[in-house]
Amino acid sequence: MSEFLVAIPRLDRSSFEGQLVPQRNQDRLARIAEGYSRFLGPAYGDEPRISSTAGQGTAAVLSWTRTGEPERVRTQGDLWTVTAGTDAGAELLQSLTLRGGRLLYETPVWGQYATVVGERYLDRVTAWNTVPALEAIHYAVADDYVFISNRPLLAALGLVSGVRSAVQLDLGYLSEYLHFGYSISGLTPFTGVRTIPADRALAVRGGEPRLVDLPAGLTGSLASRHSVEEGAEALADALQSAMDRSQASLEGRPLQLRMSGGKDSRLLLGLLRGRDIEVRALTYGQEIDGDVQLARTMTAMTGTPHSVEIPELAAGDALADQVGRTVFESGGLPPSEPHTSRYRGADPRRPGEAIMLGQWPLTKGGLAKRMRYTPEGVEDRVLKQGGALLNASARAPHDEMLRGWLADVQASSDLEKLYLFARQFRSGRYLQAHVAHYSRDGQLAYPISDAQVADVCDTLSMLEKVSEKALFGALGRIWPEVLGLPLDRSTWRFESGGKDEAYSGALYEARSTPLPPVEAPAPSGPRRPSEFSTTLAVQLATEILGSDRAPVFASLLSDDVFEALILAAAGNLAVPEGMNRMEMVKYFWRIYAADVWLSRAWLDL
């Protein structure tokens, strides 16, 4: 893993003496590094590296790599590169070529990465990220530099030469965060910093940035016309290859697997079977939970050590301190799931321990849960990705933006637009705060989010994804025995109406047997109130209304939601019409996290 900032002077080389450029870059990047140093996690070395890109190019790179890992800035022939996520730099330099003035892959370089590639003898730089965009490209344009980074705060500090107090928060992002929980438009928490679309690249030439097509060639071998069996085989192969890359990146480190009893957890545990990796599994919950029962059964099947715990609280005595710590550790990105923001992130228990989770894969069709939607139903499904807490005037531009996206996006059908929404937004930007938070403490191993897996998902038909036949078939190839286990409160979609005679297989009856009831153990010791408890809901509402930012929220929230806050602060949890209680409290958490972010207190932790 790495964190980087590329600084590209905007002045033409002919307008100043070239020998002054390296010193100017050095001075600027040193000031930015000083301003950013406190945000680095314990897994990173303290000393940044400032690298010239050699040749006649004027760009420079500020970077930090994990302790003991090799430098991520590499140069070969006419190209240089810096990467975050999968350490793909050496492969990129071998694969990428210039043809007709454009970069392209001669052979695919899979993984999950953001990269910046420069041409050593030209002031031309191209930056992009793989899909899903867990590591994403952010950029900012100043009078004298273009800054590109995998962390938006680094780009924001570039604009103000590392002076934290001068960083400006973007109120446009605030409205978008309240509505979605993450950015849809490309806004970031910081004024002047934007995120590129997942399906585009950023090119900078002569100091001027513009969006361009991605380099061609990052495609696999699954044909568009294929059988269901061929699709499942290709998905299984891609998942195993992605797991190979994850294992190589671990370099012998132990691994913490966060698991439930669901489809993605059993897939990850299946991918870990038979590998020389020291694994411990962890499930958050109680013994009575179906997820816990299933996780215990699966780990017993593989001989994997397993524990059931409750998450540890983040540092800080007060709730605002704990949430502020999470925003700080996420580099100023408020979490998409803010009800988890009072807890620690990766929380490694052993030095160097990596973490693995199933992270919003594309194997299941994205937002599509069935095969038949009217065009109006597709629009409704997408618009409902926004919450119900903004007033009409605050919500209107977001709905307009989504309708514009639906009208412009190129899809083979209206149904595929539900997949493409997940591909471009939900499976990437939704997770960027989480990735920044977790990766500062522990290495991430997320094979489900590998570009090779995404490429297969792009090629699978919507029927193969939505029915979950491709995922079921891939899991059967990776770990056939686990198909005999039931799911907790769900089923495989292709079996929602009963057994599929052509596809269910011999283990259908075994997985159709409900979980046996488990007697709840007697409570022992003091219990921590859940994040959805009345106690915490009242506290959230009270602190939001007592904040100096309360007038800002009053101008953005609907009358019903603001009234619910007032009533909750008085001890009365009155749920607005059209919501359920948990949804309302989730909104309280989102407003609270936004308030902590807007306070700027996290900048000085």
pLDDT in tens, 365-380: 999 999 999 999 999 9
Count, residues in the chain? 605
In angstroms, rounded to a whole number, what is the distance separating the alpha carbons of residues 405 and 462? Answer: 20
pLDDT band of residue 574 (cuts 50, 70, 90) is: very high
Q: Which amino acid belongs to residue 241?
A: S
pLDDT band at 54 (very low <50, low <70, confident <90, very high): low
Which residues lie below 8 Å from residue 264, measured CB to CB, with a gap of 6+?
358, 361, 448
User: Are the beta carbons of 138 and 145 closer than 8 angstroms?
Assistant: no
In sequence order, which residues have a C-beta less than 8 Å from that of residue 454 and are 6 or more positions away? 130, 131, 132, 362, 423
Q: Given pLDDT bands bounded at 50, 70 and 90, which one contains residue 211?
A: very high
Decide: residue 24, CB within 10 A, 0-12 exposed, 13-18 middle, 19+ buried. middle
Q: What is the DSSP letter of 390?
A: B
Residue 586 to residues 122, 337, 345, 420, Cα–Cα distance (Å):
50, 8, 19, 26
Q: Residue 454: name the closest of 426, 493, 427 by CA.
A: 427
CA atoms of 340 and 599, how far apart (whole Å):
19
- What's the confidence (pLDDT) of residue 288? 86
Q: Which of 151, 139, 245 is nearest to 202 (CA)?
A: 139
Helix (H, G, I), strand (E, B) or coil at 245: helix
| 452 phi and psi angles, rounded to 5 deg | -65, -40
Residues 6 or more apart whose CB falls under 8 angstroms from that of 376 comprise none
pLDDT (mean) for 500-529: 82
Predicted confidence band of residue 528 (pLDDT cuts 50, 70, 90) = confident
* Lowest-pLDDT choice from 54-63, 67-76, 99-108, 596-605: 54-63
Assigned token pair, 175: 């409205």
Question: Which residue stretches of 39-151 are H helix?
Answer: 89-95
The separation between the first and the last C-alpha atoms of the chain, rounded to the nearest angstrom, is 23
Cβ(129)–Cβ(137) below 8 Å: yes
Strand 255-258 versus strand 279-284 pairing type: parallel
Structure tokens at 236: 């299984």
Helix, strand or coil for residue 113?
Answer: strand
Contact 326, 314 (CB under 8 A): yes
pLDDT of 521 over the 70 cut = no
CA nearest to 150, candidates 331, 284, 24, 324? 331
Predicted local confidence at residue 498, as pLDDT: 95
Beta strands at 145-149 and 193-195: parallel, antiparallel or unpaired: unpaired
Mean pLDDT of 61-74: 88
Q: Is the peptide bond before 9 cis (omega within 30 degrees of 0)?
A: no
**Coil vs helix vs strand at 73:** strand
DSSP-derived secondary structure letter, 18: T
Place of tokens 């690298």: 51
Higher pLDDT, 22 or 364: 364
Supply the angle between the helices 319-329 and 534-545 in degrees, to the nearest 10: 80
Looking at every residue in the chain, the average pLDDT score rounds to 93
CA 405 vs. chain centroid, Å, equals 21
Taking the model in full, what pTM does it have? 0.95
Residue 352 has pLDDT above 90, yes or no: no
Residue-wise pLDDT for 439-472, tens only, equals: 988 889 999 999 999 999 999 999 999 999 999 9
Residue 290 confidence (pLDDT) above 60: yes
The CA distance from 428 to 129, in Å, is 10
Go through 34-73 and write b for each residue having 16 or more CB atoms within 10 A of its CB, e for each that does not: ebbeebbbebbeeebbbbbbeeebbbbbbbbbbeebeebb
* Reported confidence tier of residue 56, pLDDT bands at 50, 70, 90: low
> Strands (DSSP E) along 344-426, which ranges?
354-356
- Give the residue among 116, 117, 7 at the shortest CA–CA distance from 60: 7
Distance CA 15, CA 87 (A): 37
The contacts of residue 315 (CB under 8 Å, 6+ apart) are: 321, 322, 325, 344
Tokens of 201: 């690249």
